[in-house]
Amino acid sequence: MMPVQTPIYMDHHATTPVDERVLEAMLPYFKGQFGNAASRTHIFGWTAEEAVDRAREQISALIGAQPKEIIFTSGATESNNLAVKGVAAAYRDRGNHIITQTTEHHAVLDPCKALKRQGYDIAVLPVDKYGQLSAQAIAEAMTDQTILVSVMAANNEIGTLQSVSEIGTICKEKNIPFHSDAAQAVGKIPLDVEAHGMDLLSISAHKLYGPKGVGVLYVRAKPRIQVVAQMDGGGHERGMRSGTLNVPGIVGLGVACEIAQEEMAAEAKETKILRDRLQQKLFDGLDQIYLNGHPEKRLAGNLNISFACADGESLLMGLSDIALSSGSACTSATLEPSYVLHALGLSKDLAQNSIRFGIGRHNTESEIDYVAAQVIAEVNRLREISPHYKSDPESKQIAEKAESF
C-alpha cells in the first residue's frame, strides 16, 4: 500500500474543499473587481453584474434552467426556507397542506414545523427500508388543499436517490409545485428541472467544491411559481431575496457548476470505484455489518454502514486521523442517533453504531485502503471489549441482512 498523508478527509457530504480552479476565478472579485452588482452607474458595478450574469448562465446550464430563474441566496438552508415558507405564503388562499418525508434535511423539516405552528397542515410521509418515498404514496397523500411537495433528490446521510421524475410527473398532473433540496445531488448526478418536473430546486456551493456562504434557489418562471420573499430590503433577485450579492461566491459557484457539467460523469465513475472498493474491503474484513440506504440507487461517493457491537462515537474517536461522521454535519454535536436511520427502521443501538463515509474528488486508492484497514482494526478492538459481540441476537440478524446485500 502506498504511503498516505494524514489526516484523510472523507466527509464530503458535510462540505468539500474549494477547487483550485474555482478559487482562481474568485480572487479578482475580492480586490480589483470588487464592485456591487447593483451599482449601475460605473464600471465597477457593471463588471460585477456581468460576472453574476455569467454565473447564472453556468448554473442554469447544469440544471436545464433559464438564467433568469436562478435566485442567489446564502446557501441551501436559506433556499429551502425561501421555497417552503415562500410558497406557503404565496398559495395560502389555495390551501394549507404541504407534503414532505421523514428523512428530509432539517432545513426543510424545521421550516415545515414552523409553518405547522402557524396552522399549516404538514404531512411527513414515511420512507421504505432503503429511504425511498414512492410517487404513489405522495399521490395518495395529496388533497385539494395541497400547495407544495418537498422531497430531496439525494439524502445527505445515506445517499439514497429519490425518483424525482415520477414525483415531478404526479405534481404536474395535480398542478402542485414541486420543490427539491438538491444540495447533495447537484454536481454529482444529472439533474434537469424540465425533465424532472421540478418547480423549485435548492443548491449549495460548498457541496460541489465551491465556497461556503452562497447558494441558489431555482424558481420556475413558466408557468410562474409564486414565492413570497422572506427577507425584505431592496427587492433584489426578482423581488424574492433582498441583499447585496456575494459576487466572489457567486462567481465561484458558477465555475464549480461549469466544472461539474464537464467532469461529472467521469468523476462519478471514478468515485464509485473507490466507494465499491471500500465497501468490499469492509464487508470482507468484518462480519455483522449492515449497509444503510439503497444498495444501488445512491450517490457514488456515499457509504453508510452500521457496525454491530462497535459504538459509533467511540469508533470515530478511535479514527482520529480520518475525517468521518456519524450523520448530518448539522446534528453532529448531539449524541442522539440519526433520525434518518431511525426512519429506515434501525434500532437505536444500531443507528448509534453507524458511520458515514463521504468519498470525494481528491481521494485516492491508497487512502481507501488505509481507511479500510484502520476501520477494521478499530471495530475489532471495540468488539473485543464488548460483552454483546457474538452473543447478541440482533447482531446475528444484522449479519443475515448484510449477507443479503
Residue 330 known to be catalytic: yes
Cite the beta strand spans of 340-403 per DSSP E. Answer: 354-358
Question: Do 1 and 369 touch, CB atoms closer than 8 A?
Answer: yes
Nearest C-alpha neighbor of 219 from the set 233, 202, 236: 202
Residue 223 preceded by cis peptide, ω within 30: yes
CA distance 296 to 161: 9
Nearest C-alpha neighbor of 350 from the set 319, 294, 393, 318: 393
Q: Of the residues 112, 171, 257, 330, which is catalytic? A: 330
- Residue 163: half-sphere exposure toward Cβ, Cα within 13 Å: 14
Question: Do 308 and 289 touch, CB atoms closer than 8 A?
Answer: yes
Query: Number of helices (H) and strands (E), helices first, in the chain?
Result: 12, 12
C-alpha cell at 12: 464530503
Cite the beta strand spans of 113-251 per DSSP E. Answer: 121-125, 146-150, 178-181, 200-204, 215-219
Catalytic residues: 330
